[in-house]
Amino acid sequence: MISKIILDKFEIDYDNQFVSFPKIQLSRDIYPIKIIGQNGCGKSSLILSLAGVIPDYIFGRPSIKFKLILDNEMSCFPENQVYFRVIPQKFKYGILGFYPYEEVLLVNSIDEDWKAKVINELEINNLNNISSNYLSDGEKKRLMICKSLSAFPPLIISDEWTTHLDNYWINKIQLLFDEYFIKGGFHLEFHSDYYSNDSNVLIKTKQTNSDYLRENFVDLSFLKNVLESSLNLLEFSTHRKVSYYGDNINKMIDLHITSGQLIQLTGKNGAGKTTLLKNLWKDSFYLYKRIIKKVTKKPRILYIPSDPSYHTIGPTIKNEFEKIIGSKFHNEAKLFFENLIGVRVNKDVLGLSNGQRKLLAISLGLFSTYPLICIDEAFSGLDKSNQKIVTEMFNIAVSLGKTIIFTSQENRNISNTISYQV
C-alpha cells in the first residue's frame, strides 16, 4: 500500500517556455486529493512524463524527482513506474482486433472478484461489439477507467477523468474510486476545474514561466472587428430532420435553425450527440463507418470535434490563423492570439495543451466565414476562465449573425440559448 507520494521536482523546458511545479507531498490521511491547474500549466506533460510516453513533437525536456513510499520503503522514478497506471485525458488507440469487453478481459488483476465488479458496474459488457476506436467519447473514457481500476495497481494517476462523462457516470465511478481507496489503492487526480460541494483538498499548481503571455483580461474586440468587417451573412432559416444513432437505437431529431442562434444539444453518454453533429455536418447517416444514406451535397457547416487535432507536420499558431483571416491583420492577430492562448504565435500547434488547442480551434472557427458552426463538447477540458471566454466569444459571434450548435453533458445556463434534449 502506498502511504505517501512525493513530487520533489518537475521541470520541463519547451524551448524558451519553462514550466515548473511546486514541491508536493501527499499522504493517505487526505482523501480525495485533486491537483488543480489552469489550461497550459503542464499537468498533462507531467503525467505523460511519468508514464514515459511524452510525444517527441512536444519538444519537452522533463526533469523529474517522483517518489513513492510503499510498505514503508521508498521507490524513486523511473523504477516506481511498475506501481502505477495512468488514465490519460484522451483516448488514442484500442487493441487491434478486440472489442471493448475483450480488451478488459486481457487486463491482469491481483483480484479477479474486484475486476468482475468493476466490469459490471461500468457496464463494459453492454458496449457494442465494435472496435473501441468507434465508441463515443464517454464510452472510451469508461473503458480506460475500467482497465486501470480492474488491474488494481497501488496507484492510479488520472488526467481529467471526468471529461466526456455525464453526472450519472461521474457519481458511479467516484464510488468505485472510493472503494478502491478503502481496499488500499491511491488515486491522484489532475483537473483544470472541479465542481464539487464537498470538502475536497484542492492543491493549486504553479507555473513559473518567463514567457507566458496570458493577461488577466482577454480583449475580444478584435474578434468583433474582424467579423463586422469580413462577414457577409445572409439571413437563413432551415428546418432539418437529422437521423443519428444513440442508446443502441436509430433516432431522429427536428432542428429549427435560423441566423444568429446559439443552440445547445444535451444528453447523457451514448445518447448520440457526436453522431448527430457529424450527420448534420455530412448530411448523411453514418453507423460505424457504414454509409446508410448517400451523400449528395455537403452543407456549408464547420464541424469542430471534442478533441481538435491538427496536421502531423506541425504548423504554428500563426500559420493556422493566417489560413483563416489572412495576413491583413497580422499585428492585431498576433496580439490577440498570444493573449488568448498565452504563448508566442510561432509556437507549434501540436505542442499546445488540450485546453489551449481547443480554445484555438473554437476561436479559429468563429473567425471563419462558415455561417453555421457545430462544436462537440465545447466546454470540456477548459478551466473556468476559458469557459467564460468561450461563452463571451459565442455571444459576439451570434450577435453578428453566426449560428452555433454545441453539445454538452449538462444543460449550461447561457442566456438566449435554445436547448434540445438528445
pLDDT of residue 231: 64
Domains and CATH numbers, the chain: 2-204 (3.40.50.300), 221-421 (3.40.50.300)
Ranges of beta strands (E only) in 262-402 are: 262-266, 286-287, 290-291, 301-304, 372-375
Asked if the model's pLDDT at residue 286 lies above 90, the reply is no
pLDDT of residue 14: 65
Which has the higher per-residue pLDDT, 217 or 212?
A: 217
CB 254 within 8 A of CB 241: yes
CB 41 within 8 A of CB 207: yes
pLDDT of residue 59: 59
**Mean per-residue pLDDT, 96-117:** 92
CA distance 242 to 283: 8
pLDDT of residue 287: 40
pLDDT of residue 74: 95
CB 125 within 8 A of CB 102: no
Q: How confident is the model at residue 29 (pLDDT cuts 50, 70, 90)?
A: confident
**Mean per-residue pLDDT, 50-56:** 75
Asked if the model's pLDDT at residue 195 lies above 90, the reply is no
Q: How confident is the model at residue 95 (pLDDT cuts 50, 70, 90)?
A: confident
pLDDT of residue 295: 47
pLDDT of residue 298: 52
Asked if the model's pLDDT at residue 406 lies above 90, the reply is yes
Q: How far is CA 269 from CA 209, 213, 253, 284, 358, in A?
A: 37, 36, 17, 22, 20
**How many Cβ atoms from other residues are within 10 Å of residue 328's Cβ?**
11
Asked if the model's pLDDT at residue 228 lies above 80, the reply is yes
pLDDT of residue 284: 42
**Mean per-residue pLDDT, 154-172:** 92
Q: What is the pLDDT of residues 122-151, one digit of tens each?
A: 999 988 888 888 788 889 999 999 999 999
Asked if the model's pLDDT at residue 86 lies above 90, the reply is yes
Q: How confident is the model at residue 288 (pLDDT cuts 50, 70, 90)?
A: very low
Share of the chain above pLDDT 90, in %: 39
* Residue (of 281, 322, 324) closest to 302 by Cα position: 281
Q: What is the pTM of this model?
A: 0.78
Which has the higher per-residue pLDDT, 248 or 386?
A: 386
Q: How confident is the model at residue 232 (pLDDT cuts 50, 70, 90)?
A: low
Asked if the model's pLDDT at residue 415 lies above 90, the reply is no
Q: CA neighbours within 13 Å on the CB side: how many for 133?
A: 10
Q: How confident is the model at residue 289 (pLDDT cuts 50, 70, 90)?
A: very low
Which has the higher per-residue pLDDT, 409 or 154?
A: 154
pLDDT of residue 412: 84
**Mean per-residue pLDDT, 5-23:** 79
Which has the higher per-residue pLDDT, 227 or 286?
A: 227
CB 167 within 8 A of CB 410: yes
Q: How confident is the model at residue 207 (pLDDT cuts 50, 70, 90)?
A: low
Which has the higher per-residue pLDDT, 201 or 236?
A: 236
Torsion sign (Cα): 80, 158, 148, 199:
positive
pLDDT of residue 206: 55
pLDDT of residue 291: 40
pLDDT of residue 21: 83
CA distance 389 to 406: 15
Mean pLDDT of the chain: 84
pLDDT of residue 390: 95
Q: What is the pLDDT of residues 250-277, one digit of tens each?
A: 888 988 888 899 999 998 888 889 888 8
CA distance 205 to 51: 19
Which has the higher per-residue pLDDT, 161 or 411?
A: 161
**Centroid of chain to Cα 337:** 20
Looking at mean pLDDT, say which of 35-44, 160-169, 240-249 comes out highest.
160-169
CB 36 within 8 A of CB 62: no
| Pairing of β 2-13 and β 24-27 | antiparallel
Asked if the model's pLDDT at residue 296 lies above 70, the reply is no
Asked if the model's pLDDT at residue 103 lies above 90, the reply is yes
Q: Let me know if 359 is exposed, middle or buried by CB neighbors in 10 A (0-12, 13-18, 19+).
A: buried
